[in-house]
Amino acid sequence: MREIALAREAASDVLARYAPSRKPAKAGARKATKPDDKRRRENKPRLPTCLAETGKAEKKRQQWAAGISGEASTTVGAYFEREHNMRAQA
């Protein structure tokens, strides 16, 4: 084969016939078969996060919680005020 190629007598169709090829994998060869298989996404180790990213996420969570609690207190305050006004009118 190499001699033919070096002699430039082989065409591309001849080279394709003798080219090495890989056999396809068996069915299910790359599939996770057990619950604790490392090929499953939930069993793969998490990527480590840097310290700055962790701090930023914590700060964002605290801001979100403060906003939610402020909104909740406003909503509860409006409810109590409405109840008080309804009782005063009755």
More confident residue, 16 or 26: 26
Mean pLDDT of 37-55: 87
The closest alpha carbon to 43, from 52, 34, 51, 53, belongs to: 34
Please give the pLDDT value at position 9.
64
What's this model's pTM, rounded to 2 decimal places? 0.36
DSSP E strands in 9-76: the ranges are: none
Q: How far is CA 81 from the centre of its chain?
A: 46
Read off the pLDDT of residues 49-70 as tens digits, 9 standing for 90 and up. Answer: 788 988 999 999 999 888 888 8
Q: What pLDDT sits at residue 16?
A: 75
- pLDDT of amino acid 59: 93
Over range 64-78, report the average pLDDT: 84
